[in-house]
Amino acid sequence: MEIIKPTRLKKYLKKELGKVQNPQEALDRFVSFFQKYKVKPKLEHEEEDMLLYQYGTYDWTGKGGNYEFNLTRQFEIPNDDEFLQLSLTLYYKPEIIGEIEADNSWSTDFKQLDKWTDHIKSTIGFKKVDGIKPDKIEIELRRT
């Protein structure tokens, strides 16, 4: 385990991810990154540093939607009411997916991290893109 500044997480994540070819690789490397790099030595509450999985088809620009497979790490900013979110999003053409209802889950909803990852792998949103290379991958660090 290594402690790093939250503002440097994006750089470290890019390095750890390498060339992601599919959602399974993204999930494995994102969880490994979460376990390897911490933003503080000890958490008082697990909500201070947690993971979110979400997927759905969205059209944010009005130019046609994309199916988004997203993994996000959310952590507290010391002495601030806001959080930082480090997101990894894999984009796919919605035709590959078909109709699908958006879904999400927090790692803190499960007693163990591996139970959360098992849940992700059981979702229709994961299964529909499992083994498929995304059209685009985006990493973003933003305040909530």
pLDDT in tens, 78-120: 777 788 999 999 999 999 888 899 999 999 999 999 999 999 9
Please count the structural domains in the chain.
Answer: 1
Quote the strand ranges of 7-65, DSSP E.
Answer: 37-38, 49-58
Q: What was the pLDDT predicted at 21?
A: 93
Residue 40 pLDDT level (bands cut at 50, 70, 90) = confident
CB 49 within 8 A of CB 72: no
39/116: higher pLDDT: 116
Which contacts of 93-98 are long-range, i.e. CB under 8 A and separated by 24 or more positions? 93/66, 93/67, 93/135, 94/57, 94/65, 94/66, 94/67, 96/67, 96/128, 96/129, 96/132, 97/57, 97/67, 97/128, 97/129, 98/128
Q: What was the pLDDT predicted at 9?
A: 83
Q: pTM of this prediction?
A: 0.91
For residue range 49-81, what is the model confidence (pLDDT) as tens digits? 899 999 999 987 777 789 999 999 998 877 777
Residue 63: domain span: 2-40+49-143
